[in-house]
Amino acid sequence: MLNVENAGYNGIYLPECRLAMDGSHPEAKYTFITHAHSDHLPGNRQSTVWCTHPTYEFMQRRGFKGKAHIIEFGDTIVLESCRVSVYPAGHILGSAMFFVEKNQQSLFYTGDCRTPASPATEGFDRPDRTDFLVLDATFSLPIYRWKSHDELASELRDFAIQTLNESYTPVFLGYNLGKAQELLHLLAPLNHPMQIHGAGYKLCSIYEKESVDLGDYGAYDRESCEGKILVTTSSALNRGFASNIKIKRVAYCSGWAALESCRTQLNADKLIPISDHIDFFEMLKLCDSMNPQKVYIAHSPNPDVLKYYLEKKGIQAAVI
């Protein structure tokens, strides 16, 4: 039996393997990082981690000072305590999932994942089956069912075109690592100049190095941003981003945009529920096909519903 403990803010620790994933643990010998979002990084900026190359580069640009063993998708790393195979998670560029095997037992840790994969990532792949599944359940309610990326891309482009046609400046709100670049990538075919907030801009070249087309983009410049497609975060918008431009329309791009209430909370003109997390229905499919004996429900604000569904299927479920 592989024991699973909490580690750090969002991560887990496997004591038998002395392996921490997405978090630090005092007894950990190995720390694996799935992706570079800050809630998945080790508390100690000087430590040594295992991660993909893009993840390491993102971490460095965001202030990580430690060392990394670079791992590749498809690799299987043989440690003295266990074997770890690396799968692409489809969440953001470089995001990985880890398949841990020890003594004929296996555990699949998804970190944050998205299937079908975000088009600005290396894709999504997984092992056929696992004994234990630690699942990203951020959106684990049946009110969340994502549209296809094609449909979402047309929603984004239609909003941009319509807004520009009416001589308004379109502003897309999304997190500056991952979502922002995904938006640039999906809007690139419009061939319209785009500007992205500085915090997101400094991460873009890593995407381009991995051959993700981000179109005609530059760093946000207050003086010249009018009439461009703008990409920023909601907090930057509140702090004066493009506040000199009175006629603009704002689209909020997030899984949370599925909820009507964020329209008034964020003062958004348009809600585009484009998420880099797996939706409820894909979670059920994943659990069905990987057939785990137990699922650990992670990152969920309302885990009880998924637990209820899994238990009805005869799959043990626990909240982590």
Let me know: does 75 contact 53? Beta carbons within 8 Å: no
Among 9, 142, 221, 235, binds another protein (CB under 8 A): 142
Per CB under 8 A, 223 contacts another protein: no
Q: Is 299 in the site for another protein (CB under 8 A)?
A: no
Q: Which range binds another protein by CB under 8 A, 56-64, 85-93, 140-148, 212-220?
A: 140-148
Nearest to 158 by CA among 284, 288, 249, 242: 249
Does 199 participate in binding another protein (rule CB under 8 A)? no
Asked if 143 touches another protein (CB under 8 A), the answer is yes
Calpha distance 105→161 (Å, rounded): 52
User: Does the footprint of another protein cover residue 168 (CB under 8 A)?
Assistant: no
Among 145, 209, 239, 285, binds another protein (CB under 8 A): 145
Identify residue 238 by its one-letter amino acid code.
Answer: N
Q: Is 191 in the site for another protein (CB under 8 A)?
A: no
Q: How far is CA 312 from CA 274, 307, 316, in A?
A: 29, 8, 9
Query: Out of 302, 313, 316, 319, which residue is the one contacting another protein (CB under 8 A)?
Result: 302
Question: Which residue from 26, 63, 240, 301 is in contact with another protein, where contact means CB under 8 A?
Answer: 301
The dihedrals phi and psi of 229, each to the nearest 5 degrees, come to -80, 125
What distance in Å separates the CA atoms of residue 277 and residue 146, rounded to the nearest whole number? 10
Which window, 66-74, 117-125, 143-151, 224-232, contacts another protein (CB under 8 A)? 143-151
CB neighbourhood size of 136 (10 A): 26
Helix (H, G, I), strand (E, B) or coil at 181: helix
Residue 167 makes contact with another protein by CB under 8 A = no
Closer to another protein at the Cβ: 150 or 221?
Answer: 150
How far are the Cα atoms of 122, 169, 292 from residue 210, in angstroms, in the given order?
9, 30, 33
Q: Name the residue type at position 200.
A: G
Per CB under 8 A, the list member of 247, 304, 316, 319 interacting with another protein is 304
Q: Per CB under 8 A, which of residues 242..271 are in contact with another protein?
A: 258-265, 267, 269-270
187 burial via Cβ count (<10 Å: 0-12, 13-18, 19+): buried
128 binds another protein (CB under 8 A): no
C-beta closer to another protein: residue 67 or 239? 239
Reported residue count of the chain is 320
Smallest distance, Å, CB 31 to another protein? 28
DSSP string, 175-216: -TTTHHHHHHHHHGGG---EEE-HHHHHHHHHHHHTT----S
27 makes contact with another protein (CB under 8 A): no
Binding site for another protein (CB under 8 A): 141-145, 258-265, 267, 269-270, 280-281, 301-302, 304-305, 308
